[in-house]
Each structure stands twice: as C-alpha cells, then as structure tokens.
Amino acid sequence: MRIWIVLFLGIAAIPASAETLVAARTLRAQTIVTPDDVLTQSGTVPGVLTDATEAIGLETRVSIYEGRPIRPADLGPPAIVDRNQIVALSYVAGALTITAEGRALARGGVGDRIRVMNVASRTTVSGVVAADGSVRVMAER
C-alpha cells in the first residue's frame, strides 16, 4: 500500500491589476462613443465598464464628465428614431397585421421601448424600435 503525501503550497493572494473605463473628455448626452472618447485608469470601481470595446459605438444617455467612470446604464444603442419623427407603426397578432403612420414621442435605438402616437386616430401606444426604424406594437396577453 502506497501512501501519497500531498503538499499544499500556500500562494499569497496577489491583487489583480484591474482597470476602470473613464471619459477622456466631457461627453454630452446623445454622443456616439469613439476610441478617442475613453481612457482606462488603474483601479477598480464596482459597477463600471472595464473594457473600451464595451462602450465604443454606443450612445451616451446622460452627460459624462471628463475623468468620470462610465457605467453601463450611461450608454445605450444609438438612436435611429428621433422625437417627432414619422415612423411606420405595425401591430402583429398571429396572422393579423395592421400598419399605420405614427409620430415618435421619444428618441430610441434598436430594441428600445418608446411611445408613438397614431397619426390617424391620435391614440398613443408603446412599441419596440426595429432595426429598420419602424416601431412594432406587441399584442397584450
């Protein structure tokens, strides 16, 4: 019978060098983030972005001041629908499809839920912005 002796080496915890993504300059709301707009600083701040690729190409939802950390909630997809823009409004329920012209009551990017007023009936509905710039209203369940 063999007895194996296993040695556990105590390895000291070495703090990982984490980075925090910060604004390189003041970014106004509705600005598309470019590589020149962000910097990384050493240090860890909970709940903020750490990689520039997570922010580049997105639009700021609020103003972000120079040197401030960038949080995921500060960014979103770029708006493709502007407030007061005329959009195609579609309602799909099974085989039934109704299309109408609507006026956007808010800005929104792909996947954002916005309110739209049907131009003909003046009824306000909520829908999701599609990639083609139309707004799709879902059937309530």
**Stretch 52-75: mean pLDDT, rounded?**
94
What residues contact 23, with CB distance under 8 A and at least 6 apart? 37, 38, 39, 64, 65, 66, 67, 68, 70
Residue 88: CATH number of its domain: 2.30.30.760
With a cut of 50, say whether residue 81 has pLDDT above it: yes
**Antiparallel, parallel or unpaired: β 86-93 and 135-138:** parallel
Q: Is 2 part of any domain? A: no
Same domain? 68 vs 86: no
pLDDT bucket at 3, cuts 50 / 70 / 90: low
Q: What is the pTM of this model?
A: 0.67
pLDDT higher at 66 or 8: 66
Torsional class of 110: left (φ above 0), alpha (ψ -120 to 50), beta (otherwise): beta
What are the phi and psi torsion angles at 66 (to 5°)? Answer: -50, 130
**Stretch 57-72: mean pLDDT, rounded?**
94
What pLDDT does 1 receive? Answer: 53
Same domain? 68 vs 88: no
Question: What is the tens place of the pLDDT at every residue in 26-41?
Answer: 999 999 999 999 999 8
Report whether 90 contacts 57 (CB < 8 A): no
What pLDDT does 7 receive? Answer: 47
Residue 25: CATH number of its domain: 3.90.1210.10
Percentage of residues of the chain with pLDDT beyond 90: 67
- Cα Rg of the chain, angstroms: 24
pLDDT bucket at 18, cuts 50 / 70 / 90: confident
Q: Is 24 part of any domain? A: yes
Q: How far apart are CA 75 and CA 49, in angstroms?
A: 10
pLDDT bucket at 43, cuts 50 / 70 / 90: confident
Q: Residue 44 corresponds to which tokens in the numbers above?
A: 């860890």
Domain hosting residue 38, numbered range: 19-76
Report whether 11 contacts 30 (CB < 8 A): no
pLDDT higher at 18 or 129: 129
What pLDDT does 27 receive? Answer: 95
The size of the chain, in residues, is 141
